[in-house]
Structure 1
Amino acid sequence: MEEGKSSRMIVVTLKPLYTFICLYLHFLHCQKIDVSADESAYFPLENILLDCGSLASQAVSYDGRNWSSDIRSHFVASNPDSSFTVSRASSAGTSVPEVPYMTARLFHSQFTYSFNVSPGPKFIRLHFYDDSYMSLNASKAFLSVTAGHFTLLRNFSAYLTARYMKSAYFFKEFIVHVENHTLDLTFSPSTNASDGYAFLNGIEIVSMPLNLYNQGNNVSGNSTAMETMYRVNVGGQSIPPNQDTGMSRSWTIDSTYLFGSAVGLANYGLDVSITYPPEVPAYTAPKVVYDTARSMGSFSQINKNYNLSWFFPVDSSFMYLVRLHFCEIDGKITKINQRVFDIFINNQIVESGVDVIALSQGNGIPLYRDYTVLIPKLTSLGKQDLWLELHPNLRSKPQYYDAILNGVEIFKVSNNDGNLAGLNPSVSNESSTHGDEPTSSSRSSESSNKEILTIAGISIVIVLAIALCLFLIVFLLKRKTERTKKITRNSLRNRSFSIGEIKKATNNFDEAKIIDSDAFGLVYKGYIDEGSTAVTIHRATQAISKQELHKFDAEIRMHYHFRHQHIVPLIGYCKEDHEMILVYEYMPNGTFLEHLHFADQRQQSPLSWNQRLDICTGAARCLHYLHSASSHPLIPAEIKTTNIQLDKNLMAKISGFSYNRFSTKTKGTIGYLDPEQNLTEKSDVFSFGVVLLEVLSGRPAMNPTAARDNEETDRGTANPHESLVQWALTCLEKSTVDLLVDRHLKGKIVPASLTKFIEITEKCLADQGVNRPSMIEVLCSLELAQQLQFQGFENSNGSAKDIVSHSNSNLMLGLEFFGAGR
């Protein structure tokens, strides 16, 4: 049977009962495949998962994947002289999965694993958790790995790599073609020092289709190996291994790699059905890759003046295979020459006049294009940026001057000597990426059919046949019900939690777990996935009515379609037992309000001016996206410092907005309310202006003149009914701008930056919405304030006029229409 192809089982026997039972068991087997895997999935012949150093006597399941210990494993082929130990990690991070990262095999000499596999290409994934094992210094661990005559890693440091990737645990993925039935992986420490060693936490060996990346060329042929550098779902969300097409690949989001503020528009193929053509098998990439994309937006005149750009740090002195995935998912683009663009890699045009409709012969039909590029060694640095840029093709005069991209895969290709090993990254080199943080797969493994040992008597045959028929009827009815529920859940496109999982995460809704309350209800901090992932769980205080249930479903769908790097990600939901529960990613640095108003009480360092500008810029970018990402703007109506949360890197993430998309009813919080009491984009602009005042002054939205520690101004004259807006406008009228500046910022803001910031803040707070700027104008002004602040320190003689003139570039023109909707 050919690898990856499904087949039908034909059972021939002379005994009726045996035939019936075998057909019945096969039916159950087929039903299991239908519900546990996508119809387009590839089924690998080998799917070997080794949890290195584990003392478990049986396979351990993590998210549905069965990992076996490598101790006493028949895959271990090292000779008795090999020096090795096994150890458990000394520290257990709450976000680090138990399997395969909490145990490791330590190598003090050469050690080999030997896998008996079928010939053909294999994914090899090596998992690492940067930690101390047996009290050894993690920075002393250097590893070399070979697979046959290929060198996968040389002098590799998990310690340095983890810091570069800003992730304690990660994996390295390789593609190696096995010529015979044996795959030998040899691991050895790269130093002979007395304290030198190497370690490994987990190994995956997964079969793959013969021609998935091998197209008969010399770059990706059988004589070369490859390392996966990036696998990106452009414009969409990350895709964990269990949602891949059977090969457990991980797909990351593209926002990490986008260049500048002109990041275009994320697109979703809501009304397009993806149809794979024969030349693009369904396992090439998941459907979710092809039904999401990033385009430049609908402003053709602006699109002509800038590129949609990504950059990917890669190792120098290697050839790279770049695969770009395309699928036209815009319902109004169905004809040739409607959207035509050029592709540039490292400032060189690699293909001109790309028309996805012309190449794929229709809307919703995937295709991919492969390109090779050599990254020469230009400097002593081990890494350079590989640039990918799209630009409208002007010569063809298309109907829309636009470009689109659905996915990117970048592979490093081995040199002539079989080497794939690059240099270790520098600790001081700040990475702009988060790397391939692995997500555990939940793909079910197939169960074995039980043998039928005895068949007795005609009477037993009749009784069993009747019983099995009745059971089959009940089973089919139950399966139909489960499939209906599954379809409903899939339509929501988010993880569906059971009420049991929610209770486990919150210790049965323990009041000690409550960290906040909002308009939706109570907010708990909890942990999911066996305690490996921190989340916030929002539980509605009201029971679900039929009308509220429809609104709840609408909100879940809204969160799926409105995804952005500055929105708190919705992980999933629960609506069992008349509950309405939303599960969000946990933001470890709390709210913007806490950092602005309670830093002293919490003995935290106050935010610097640059940090405050970064947070404001991120929040403004998100608001512009919400206002312009579709034909009907989404208006959060709850813009305030408590709804701007901060992740571990102090990146702003908007939260707290709900299904206000088509509503015009006034909502909001006292101190942030629009004087016109209208629910429009301009009401959000007013609320954001209040946030900007809080950022500058460090004072709350209400009662701003209340006495504060170490501050004499206005002591004893507090008016609890006075708003920050009223007080600030009075200060501006009296030209007492100095009173507006937070005492922690005095003398630290460049005057030109302060002037620009106050200027855009005043515009946001205009009484009439028509006189307020759009969010893109606010965003541009905040970014200009950042440039002025930076330029002021770099060149004390520079003027605001000089910088404004300099910023009037193609990039700024592209920035002006960031995220513009159709």
Structure 2
Amino acid sequence: MHFLKKQFLIQIFLHTPFATMHIDCHVKYYYTIIYITILFLNVLKLSFSDPNVAISIDCGATIEGKDIDGRKWEMDTKYILSPGDSQPVKAQFQDPALLSDIPYMTARVSKSEMTYKFPINSTSRYFLRLHFYPGSYPSFNIEKSYFSVTVAGFTVLNNFSAAVTAEALTQAYIIKEYSFAPLDGIDSLELKFKASYKYDGSFAFVNGIELVPTPNFLDSAVLVGFSDQSLDGKTATTETVARLNVGGNYIPPTNDSGLLRTWYDDTPYLFGAGVGVTSSDNKTVGLDYRDMPKYIAPKTVYDTWRSMGPDPNVTLNFNLTWTFSVDPSFTYIVRLHFCEHVYSKVNQRLFNVYIYNQTATPSGADVIAWTGAKDVPVYKDFAVNVQTGEGQQEVLVALHPRDIGAEKPEFYDAILNGLEVFKVSDGNKNLAGPNPSPSEALAKAEQEKRKNFSKDVTRINAIWPASGVAAAFGLATVLAVVLYKKKSRMPRSKSGTSSWLPLYGNSHSSGMKSTIGGNSVACAQLSTEAAANCRHFTLAEIRKATKNFDESNVIGVGGFGKVYKGVIDGNFKVAIKKSNPSSEQGVNEFVTEIEMLSKLRHKHLVSLIGYCEENGEMALVYDFMAHGTLREHLYKGNKINLTWKQRLEMLIGAAKGLHYLHTGAKYTIIHRDVKTTNILLDENWVAKISDFGLSKTGPETNQHHVSTVVKGSFGYLDPEYFRRQQLTEKSDVYSFGVVLFEILCARPALNPSLPKEQVSLADWARSSVRKGNIEEIIDPNIKGTIKPECLKKFVDTAFKCLSDHGIDRPSMSDLLWNLEFSLQLQESGDGPKGGSSGRNTASDNINMHLSTLNLDDDEDYTESVSSSNNQNSSTAIFSQIVHQTGR
């Protein structure tokens, strides 16, 4: 290669005028030859660069140099394809937080578009790192710098301000790291920097660029919440959100596994007071990587870890949690690194992993079960979809010992060695997010600074008469500076982002119209926030998803209209609720559903993906619930017979969803239509609350109810709400009480074909409980399988929910606690066996337990549902109820 390069240069030399030039030739020919030679040298140097070797350039530098780690950084001139009006600049001040002046003290600045071009191997994945130091540069106001960066058709930065970002994150410099999947057939990578046209005087700048060839280290990631779906990481282009050496120290790029990655201490990312304990492996025995490539993570990562501790009385009462600020409307890959150094048997350390408040490991995480031995590293990839919303969202990664079910571990502990989070580009090849906002503490400090400045100005005014011309000149100078800064400060807008499944953020008109019966009817206004938080589908997309509303895809029919099974974006299953054009009432419910669900996200609430409103057609798009409604598995001829334990778990899930609505959301939300057809079951039989068309926000703090017209479903309606038209959270509790008996008895809330006293399930159940013959109304499929203590607690709770007056009903929090307690009672010991004798014994025990309750009249029934919480109190139970973030 070098020989060919040398011969090529000789040929250039021989064919230039310099070869035949006499001594007395004009000097200008000499300079011409020098210029041509330098030009060809630069072209050759670029063309002969090895695409399999990492490139590091110090933008704006005039000489090559080395950083604090001894890494060599080149000048950027030979990689500039289109310089535009770019120019090199040098920072006037070095922030003490800068560990190295290379590559941060020089930059290349451009007010127009400038392009860098790098040779690449089309079969390799590449890390691209952009370094920004928003310091002070001569003739450039860094606060005016807003720009975009596109790479190989991907928008990695849009309307980006390094100054705003550094201020919000309280950092001196910013490093943006991206990983590009192999670009088939492309032998070069172009980076285009373009100043934002929105602001006068805006410019783009960059201090350093790294391009590192890597193996394709990303794999298929399981989509959390959808066990049958995964994300193909091998074809994903990503941005690194975090890379942590959990329980260990900072690892510089030179100590990484050849990929020049930086691993940071995880301490700043820990959430809450429970930080666990850190440990390290000091054995000389090396790790057994087996089939796992060593470049996945360096040995140092697997030699340190963070665990919860040895005391189960402590570990069962907290989650070991890390929190990450992320941009909404994107999918994120979360990679967890494990290596067990202490235990050697399966089920010694078994724990659950929760990501974005969802269970990522339904069967638990057991490192030894995955690896088969100690000192063997392993990693697991998960993908989560982050909801739309304003500002940055949070993704929590939490560990908790697995203490539910038969497979209880020997030690109640959890472990993690390393953690990486990657943002995945959306369908529009976009990775750009909004500029972050400063924290409340930082904003307060800035406010105090401005307040002190105002005091200084006031003080100057006070001494004006005594200071003469000098004071006047000083004050004029201060005012001029203030006016200049005020004029020069640019607005810090947040750029919108589009997303990958299942939530999208698109801006649409806040006003909506519906054509009903041939007339255009202005419907309720959809807020800008709600419109931005949901994907807007075209009617063509909805028709394609449902095969033009093919009747074979109908999976349900409700008051709003038919519900169709559909597929969007290739293979993502959804449920599409299409409006009935003859129902004008559906318009308001349509808007209410979007307004409510666009702001809510919880494991036990059905997720709204988007909506369609076009040509008089209205449709709502939800996550697909594979097992349909809870009702159809009770008494609609479904062949699946739910066990009592399964029913309890589903009720607990639904109760958690309602508890979140009542207490965890920004405002109290009353569902107003709780029933078994509005409790849906996903592929894992997880219960989720649906249908928010009738929901209302709760009362103001100085009120106890919302006065509103009565709406809901007969059989579930709160009698107090029906009489007084005053809606409270206890109205949902009453409806849920009917659901509890519906689960227990496997019969509808209303059945007109039955004798008069049995038509209403609520009335019949209360009467049966008072008379002590509760066993007569239990579903025969589960009679004899329910432990008497469990049934007593369950019936006690359900009966209290159906009290005539809301004040006598439990709160949703108490109700949830009692259902959890009922499940614990059912799981403790061996329950009654099947068979006639077993059932008789169970019935006798049930009657004995229920006979201790005074249920003759609601007013006399004063035993609090929550009073029994003191019996067999379990911190493990309570830890399952309390949700730290309310989401």
TM-score normalised to structure 2 length: 0.46
Which structure carries more relative contact order (alpha carbon 8 Å, separation 6+)? 1
Q: Is the helix fraction higher in 1 or 2?
A: 2
